[in-house]
């Protein structure tokens, strides 16, 4: 049986200048390279989720626009919506931010251009796991989060330390799981396989364990806001969730806890790629390099927008709380093989709907 996870692995803008970008733009670039600092502004279309818009506009986009005499146009939506636009050719996106699960689909469908890593020197300053999450020819991960367990101690008897605890009486009729169609859905399947006793992924064991858990599920959540709402209203005691959203749970339930299970928390990687056919490839590579710079990564981390992958970012105290930070944390993360996931997701979705989501 083929393994479909990599096992344990080694894995914020104070200045308005792009000093940390690792390369400089000529004031006389041609149209193919992006813009002329003294000529007409070029346009760079960036496809992203749309969260923390004020932060990105002020601290990421504006400095890059000023340095490169370019206008950044932002196209927002969820992963599936934005990827479909690219599939259909109904957008003129140059740079796209996607979770690794959806980015793998784009790669397999040949929707993304290959990149020249020599033009993205900051890639050498990020965690190994982030450098080539989906292959050497495609974009890096600009942030890595982790999927663990969040729970309300007031509704759970004893400590939660393991994925197996989700199957215990601690979470009787008060649990939520990510839906199979969500980014974390395939991770839930792998979790179930492990709890079922398999050292390598076993589909039948996974769905047997998921079926056992189904009666305790209040709702399978498709959006994190659903988890937050149920948790705030104490409809659920907890479940698997990405750490970056834990601050929202703490605001509702101050005693809430987040745990990286003993078997390993899962790496949730958001990638950045250049869309095939973009007429701004060189400028897009400059933008990718900027996103990976210490300045952007450090500011983003301190604002609790994204966890940093740039190893030159040093955080302490409150700045390091609530984000996935440090080699000692990142190197313990479990990474799924997204190519394997996408190969089997239709079968798993069918089984999930028949056997689990009843």
Predicted pLDDT at 248? 92
Mean pLDDT for the stretch of residues 282-301:
98
pLDDT class for 14, splitting at 50, 70, 90? very low
CB within 8 Å of 244: residues ≥ 6 apart? 145, 304, 306, 307, 322, 323, 324
pTM: 0.84
CATH code linked to domain 5-144+269-321: 3.40.190.10
47 forms beta bridges with 75, 96
Chain segment 172-197, per-residue pLDDT in tens: 999 999 999 998 999 999 999 999 99
pLDDT class for 140, splitting at 50, 70, 90? very high
Among 171, 193, 147, 175, residue whose Cα is nearest residue 351 = 193
Is the pLDDT at 291 greater than 90? The verdict is: yes
Predicted pLDDT at 27? 38
Q: By CB neighbour count within 10 A (0-12 exposed, 13-18 middle, 19+ buried), where does 19 fall?
A: exposed
Predicted pLDDT at 10? 35
Residue boundaries of the structural domains of the chain? 5-144+269-321, 147-266+337-356
Among 138, 155, 145, 48, residue whose Cα is nearest residue 93 = 48
Among 160, 168, 148, residue whose Cα is nearest residue 264 = 148
Task: Say what percent of the chain tops pLDDT 90.
Answer: 84
Mean pLDDT for the stretch of residues 57-62:
97
Which two tokens mark 86? 């690219």
Predicted pLDDT at 3? 41
Q: Do the first three CATH levels of 5-144+269-321 and 147-266+337-356 match, i.e. the same topology?
A: yes
* Spatial distance between the Cα atoms of 326 and 146, rounded to a whole number of angstroms: 12
Task: Say what percent of the chain tops pLDDT 70.
Answer: 89
pLDDT class for 221, splitting at 50, 70, 90? very high
CATH code linked to domain 147-266+337-356: 3.40.190.10
Higher pLDDT, 244 or 18: 244
pLDDT class for 161, splitting at 50, 70, 90? very high
Predicted pLDDT at 29? 43
């Amino acid at each position: 049986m083929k393994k479909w996870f990599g096992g344990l692995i080694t894995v914020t803008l104070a200045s308005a200048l792009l000093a940390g970008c690792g390369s400089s733009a000529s004031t006389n670039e041609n149209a193919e390279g992006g813009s002329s600092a003294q000529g007409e502004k070029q346009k760079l279309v960036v496809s992203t989720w749309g969260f923390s818009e004020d932060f990105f506009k002020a601290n990421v986009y504006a400095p890059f626009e000023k340095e490169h005499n370019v206008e950044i146009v932002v196209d927002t939506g969820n992963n599936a919506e934005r990827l479909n636009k690219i599939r259909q050719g109904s957008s003129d996106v140059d740079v796209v931010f996607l979770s690794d699960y959806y980015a793998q689909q784009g790669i397999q469908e040949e929707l993304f251009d290959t990149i020249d890593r020599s033009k993205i020197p900051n890639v050498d300053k990020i965690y190994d796991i982030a450098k080539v999450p989906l292959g050497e020819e495609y974009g890096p991960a600009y942030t890595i989060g982790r999927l663990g367990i969040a729970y309300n101690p007031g509704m759970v008897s004893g400590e939660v330390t393991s994925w197996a605890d989700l199957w215990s009486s601690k979470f009787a009729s008060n649990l939520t799981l990510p839906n199979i169609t969500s980014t974390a859905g395939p991770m839930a399947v792998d979790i179930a396989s492990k709890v079922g006793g398999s050292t390598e992924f076993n589909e039948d064991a996974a769905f047997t364990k998921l079926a056992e858990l189904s009666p305790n599920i209040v709702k399978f959540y498709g959006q994190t806001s659903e988890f937050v709402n149920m948790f705030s209203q104490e409809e659920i005691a907890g479940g698997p969730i990405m750490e970056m959203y834990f601050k929202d749970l703490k605001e509702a339930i101050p005693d809430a806890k987040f745990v990286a299970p003993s078997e390993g928390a899962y790496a949730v990687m958001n990638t950045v790629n250049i869309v095939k056919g973009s007429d701004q490839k060189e400028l897009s590579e400059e933008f990718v390099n900027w996103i990976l710079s210490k300045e952007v990564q450090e500011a983003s981390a301190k604002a609790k927008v994204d966890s940093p992958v740039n190893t030159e970012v040093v955080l302490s105290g409150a700045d390091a709380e609530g984000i996935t930070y440090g080699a000692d944390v990142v190197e313990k993360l479990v990474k799924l093989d997204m190519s394997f996931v996408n190969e089997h997701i239709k079968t798993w979705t069918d089984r999930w709907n028949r056997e689990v989501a009843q």
